[in-house]
Structure 1
């Protein structure tokens, strides 16, 4: 286990990773949590609401925005499937919600699950120069307290929890050790929130 994760008293299933807010450079192949993408989807959707700057937008601009939103939603779905696999959902359960066969779901999303698992084996990779470390885990895996605070602020400012300043973190506790969990409380997991 990576020393930083051991410091959190966690293993792959309960690393303190909660969401986006990139502190580090990440690559398109960096596994993310549903929260990483959900905040981006919500913010992207808001961008399609306003019309004040339509005159300044080139032809097809709204289509470009909508396509980016679909791409973000697809990444959110991929991370949600990974989350469900990691928490023990069967491919049949996942496939039922995707309205595809279990075999198709497994074939389509296994690479994402494998990438997630590889990230825990090698939390960093070197960039093409060999001098800069690029994290392979969501930013919150490296600083879960900060990430949870940011997500609570994001939710509060967008009225997700309706005047709840801890809409994201209220039911989360930091796990003392990978095998010690507080009964009835959700641990800070790699895809919680």
Structure 2
């Protein structure tokens, strides 16, 4: 099994007509399909408005159908997506084991070098050489010794390890709207309060 990061329950999936072991996430496939319809509605509106000089023109009587169609489609997509999200089980252990693959902390190390005064394009090259060393050794960036890192550039020092590893890398994203742990938690709290949802009721699913 190549991924296996999540398993949908039987209530939100169907079987395969030929493979007995397979589960098809039909609701999300339909959501994906509906998105094409919504994009089509957007194109309709853009083409409708592109030639209008100003104010109201009779052309705009044609805007109702794509707008109403989009609202109906997106409302249904959100309802289906919410139902699906509540009926999947995440394989946290497998996800955790897969995270180090691909050197996801490489960009964060480049940011570390920028903070040290290294131009980004130079840092990009430095981290590329570090990744190449990892590939040759069959290891992760965080597994390289400080001497090995300093062999690439003396700019590296002990605190580089605060940027290495997926968990450390994610913590470094702190700008508003970023994917950092604190930013995501803040957004979850905001929307839980806005929607009147008790996050603790879903803590077992995080």
Common fold by TM > 0.5: no
Higher relative contact order (CA 8 A, sep 6+): 1
TM-score of the pair, normalised by structure 1 = 0.28
Normalized per residue, which structure has more helix? 2
